[in-house]
Amino acid sequence: MNCYLIRYAEIGIKSSQIRNKWLHQLRQNIERCLFWNAVSFGRVVIVQGRLIVYSNDKKAADAMHHVMGISSISPATEIDLDMGELKNVALRIYHERNPKTFRISTQRVTKDYQLTSQEINEQIGEAVYEAGGTVSLTKHELNISFEIINDKAYVFTEVNRGVGGLPLGVQNVGCAVVKTLRDLVACWLFMRRGCPVEVVAYNTNHTSIYIDILQSFACSGLRIQLINSTDDLKEVLPSYLKRDIEVVVSGTQIDAPEGMVNLCPCELFTTIQLNDTLRMAGIVLPHPIENHMLSAGGIVYKDNKIFLFRRKDERTWLLPKGGADNKEHLREAALREICEETGLCNVDIGDMVGKAQYSFVREGIKYTKDVYYYLCTTCDELVTLEPLFDDHAFLSPNDAEKRATFVNDKRMIRCSQRLRDARRRS
């Protein structure tokens, strides 16, 4: 296996102009997804009727299952379009698997090759049959499939279903209110129609779970605001309307401000339908965490060096972070905490890098904290530390990873480097 065949459905029925635009968005989303999930790959190529991801990383299929717009994925091997080579590959797969019955299936995505699909099936099938194989077109144990695209053939034995829909980013941005499981499903269905979302999340024991699920499909593209009550929701929604976000998505009807449309795509879903949607999306809900807290922080770069500071009492080297206030966006919380703790207030913030989780005990009670980190840059020269800290340094990524005390911070530093690499490549 040296590549993945990516198929799409709904994109293919659009006009050539729209299709080309949406395919480029899909390719960008695939690249972001692979970088976000630390999947190694060479390139992503658009060909007639398909996208081809050049990678032999087995994590790629699971990662790309979260990319909206993909109807199916096949781990494949790209070979030259030569009948002798096609037969050799089919024989090798047959001998490796040793099935009781087999079938050969061919699709000519491009039609330039002189043989028809049926003729290709017959010639390859005959070679496998002569090697001892038993043909069964309906009850086969192994289906060896070929897709012909230009002067290459792609051989595969499995087709993994994608989530379908449209590529995220081809439609307008909406606001999603997330408190319940029904809200989560509504938001996911809206994203599946190609609509990026800004999430207004109620701060509950489920919040981090829902954020992580939606984040896995957005691949670092979510903007998240935390609230505690319905009154908070009424207060913050008009701010979205002022930014021309005219759609708010929720699981059930809410009191949306005038001029804002409230969509509830799963309002009438039964529990069975909600669970079916989760299953189609590949979403597995973990158990909620008691005594849960949310924070935000940043990996701050200056001239390709990362900021770390030392906590005075514990002598530990850390990344800046802190708790998010009510009605505060996580991005804004990260910027505020960086400014308060370090004096670095002229900071540009980019994509979310990832999440770190740790637990601590306070007054006999165990708390679990999730910290969402963002990629940041600064040109500030003057550092003014809070009294809790007594030293700081701007270090190369390698040195910062070595200096950082905690495993979570080391991992976030590595993730930030991966994200910066993704930016440079795209």
Q: Can you give 269-326 as a three-state secondary structure string?
A: CCHHHHHHHHHHHCCCCCCCCCCEEEEEEEEEEECCEEEEEEECCCCEEECCEEECCC
Which pLDDT belongs to residue 322?
95
pLDDT bracket for residue 426 (50, 70, 90): low
Q: What would the two tokens of residue 237 be?
A: 């929604």
Average pLDDT, integer, range 247-262: 96
pLDDT bracket for residue 424 (50, 70, 90): confident
In this structure, the answer to whether residues 297 and 277 fall within a common structural domain is no
Which pLDDT belongs to residue 62?
93
Average pLDDT, integer, range 17-32: 95
Which pLDDT belongs to residue 291?
84
Higher pLDDT, 364 or 307: 307
In this structure, the answer to whether residues 352 and 382 fall within a common structural domain is yes
In this structure, the answer to whether residues 411 and 358 fall within a common structural domain is yes
Which CATH number is 338's domain given? 3.90.79.10
Which CATH number is 156's domain given? 3.30.2300.10
In this structure, the answer to whether residues 255 and 296 fall within a common structural domain is no
To 10 degrees, the CA torsion angle through 194, 198, 202, 204? 70
Let me know if 82 is exposed, middle or buried by CB neighbors in 10 A (0-12, 13-18, 19+): exposed
Does 301 map to a domain?
yes
On the question of pLDDT at 261 being above 90, the answer is yes
Q: Round the average pLDDT of the chain to a whole number and report it.
A: 94
**Which residue type sits at 125?**
G
Number of domains in the chain: 4
Does 76 map to a domain?
no
pLDDT bracket for residue 254 (50, 70, 90): very high
Encode pLDDT of 380-419 as tens digits. Answer: 989 999 999 999 999 999 999 999 999 999 999 999 998 8
Does 168 map to a domain?
no
In this structure, the answer to whether residues 406 and 298 fall within a common structural domain is yes
Encode pLDDT of 148-158 as tens digits. Answer: 999 999 999 99
Does 78 map to a domain?
no
Does 252 map to a domain?
yes
In this structure, the answer to whether residues 155 and 194 fall within a common structural domain is no
Which pLDDT belongs to residue 232?
97
On the question of pLDDT at 108 being above 90, the answer is yes
Percent of the chain residues topping a pLDDT of 70: 99
User: What residue numbers bound the domain in which 380 lies?
Assistant: 292-425
Average pLDDT, integer, range 361-369: 88
Average pLDDT, integer, range 161-177: 96
CB under 8 A, 24+ apart: contacts of 414-417? 415/38, 415/353, 415/354, 415/373, 416/299, 416/301, 416/306, 416/353, 416/373, 416/375
Which of 48, 71, 94 is the C-terminal boundary of a domain?
A: 71
Contacts of 177 (CB under 8 A, 6+ apart): 183, 200, 202, 233, 248, 249, 250, 254
Does 206 map to a domain?
yes
pLDDT bracket for residue 425 (50, 70, 90): low
Does 287 map to a domain?
no
In this structure, the answer to whether residues 416 and 307 fall within a common structural domain is yes
In this structure, the answer to whether residues 345 and 275 fall within a common structural domain is no
In this structure, the answer to whether residues 33 and 91 fall within a common structural domain is no
On the question of pLDDT at 220 being above 80, the answer is no
Which stretches of 167-218 are DSSP H helices?
Answer: 181-192, 207-218
In this structure, the answer to whether residues 347 and 260 fall within a common structural domain is no
In angstroms, the CA 135 to CA 204 distance is 57
Average pLDDT, integer, range 59-75: 96
Which of 43, 71, 99 is the C-terminal boundary of a domain?
A: 71
Which pLDDT belongs to residue 290?
84
In this structure, the answer to whether residues 137 and 181 fall within a common structural domain is no
Say if pTM beats, i.e. exceeds, 0.95: no
CB atoms within 10 A of CB 53: 26
Which of 161, 192, 225 is the C-terminal boundary of a domain?
A: 161
In this structure, the answer to whether residues 300 and 399 fall within a common structural domain is yes
Does 18 map to a domain?
yes
Task: State the chain's maximal CA–CA distance in angstroms.
Answer: 80
